[in-house]
Amino acid sequence: MLKKLLLLTLILSTPTIAESYKTRDFTIEYDPNVPTSIVEQLAERVINNRKVVLAYLNQSNNYTGTPIKERLTVYISKQRRTPYQNWNTIHIPEKRVLSEFSEESNEDNGLAVIHELAHVYAVSAYRKNKKNGYEDRFFDDGLAVFLQHRFGESAEYPDFGVDLYRAVAEKSTEYGELIALPEAENVRHSAKTGLGRRLAYLQEGAFTQFLIENYGLDKYLEIYAGENPKKVTGKTLNELEKDWTQLIKNFTSKKPTR
């Protein structure tokens, strides 16, 4: 009887062994309950999105690749509620994956594959800086939001298909003000409401769009790599923020007076 109890305990305590689906450039890990057909569709999405991210970055001679040399892993996660990147691993919620590739899907949360791939293939000089106990991802998330908005297959968080400038204008009005860019990361990590967190993401993406549109991808990647903005653009970060703020004001809708 004791042996049977020990055997049962061992069986129950043994974790489920994840399945693996390997492509040339990455591996998808998933639990057996996820149909192979869905894993294959996710793999195709990652292949296509990876090409897009790298093609965009490789337009610039200032793109020098990523310090992440380990093989890319895409993990279909039961635990994560939102997509997440940790070094060479992208975690995508299982519920979202199943919904995205299901014929009966009625959800539109999105997988943010481009966003998370941008984190793997474009690591800013600032990311490893600690800011109140967490990484400083201001530029990293700005680029990720911008690329997801521009090249994503569907409208996703945080802009849901709305132009980034207009989305910032609308949400900052709802929030009560723009977040000062040096404080965006603090708000994104500590916001007590979803609105503040969402606005911080939007502002990071919209400011990235502003820099690329006005100074080009080459100069943007110089800043991304740690170069002083004034040396690159002739303006300090504070001056660039003021220019950006003036631009955003043009997208703020005002109710007509009677």
Tell me the pLDDT tens digit for each residue of 194-252.
999 999 999 999 999 999 999 999 999 999 999 999 999 999 999 999 999 999 999 98
Query: Is residue 7 a part of any domain in this protein?
Result: no
Let me know: does 142 contact 149? Beta carbons within 8 Å.
no
* Residues 98, 197 within the same domain: no
pLDDT of residue 233: 98
Percent of the chain at pLDDT > 90 equals 82
Work out whether the CA dihedral 115, 119, 122, 127 comes out positive or negative: positive
Percent of the chain at pLDDT > 70 equals 89
Give the mean pLDDT of 171-189. 95
Q: Is the pLDDT of residue 106 over 80?
A: no
Give the mean pLDDT of 89-96. 97
Question: What DSSP character marks residue 98?
Answer: H
Write the CA distances from 211 to 10, 130, 143, 215, integer angstroms: 57, 24, 10, 6
Q: Is the pLDDT of residue 4 over 90?
A: no
pLDDT of residue 131: 81
pLDDT of residue 1: 53
Poorest-confidence range of 7-11, 71-75, 115-119, 220-224? 7-11
Query: Is residue 6 a part of any domain in this protein?
Result: no
* Residues 59, 115 within the same domain: yes
Poorest-confidence range of 95-109, 136-150, 194-208? 95-109
Query: Is residue 11 a part of any domain in this protein?
Result: no
Question: Which one of 122, 143, 174 terminates a domain?
Answer: 122
* Residues 101, 135 within the same domain: no
Question: Which one of 71, 103, 122 terminates a domain?
Answer: 122
- The number of beta carbons lying within 10 Å of the beta carbon of residue 80 is 15
* Residues 55, 86 within the same domain: yes
- The number of beta carbons lying within 10 Å of the beta carbon of residue 201 is 25
Element (H, E) at 217: helix 194-224
Return mean pLDDT, the chain: 91
Q: Look at residue 152 and give its three-state secondary structure.
A: coil
* Residues 105, 140 within the same domain: no
Let me know: does 91 contact 84? Beta carbons within 8 Å.
yes
Query: Is residue 2 a part of any domain in this protein?
Result: no
pLDDT of residue 18: 82
Give the mean pLDDT of 142-150. 98
Poorest-confidence range of 28-37, 57-66, 73-82, 131-140? 131-140
Question: Which one of 72, 106, 122 terminates a domain?
Answer: 122
Q: Is the pLDDT of residue 9 over 50?
A: no
* Residues 95, 141 within the same domain: no
For residue 88, the enclosing domain spans 16-122
* Residues 161, 216 within the same domain: yes
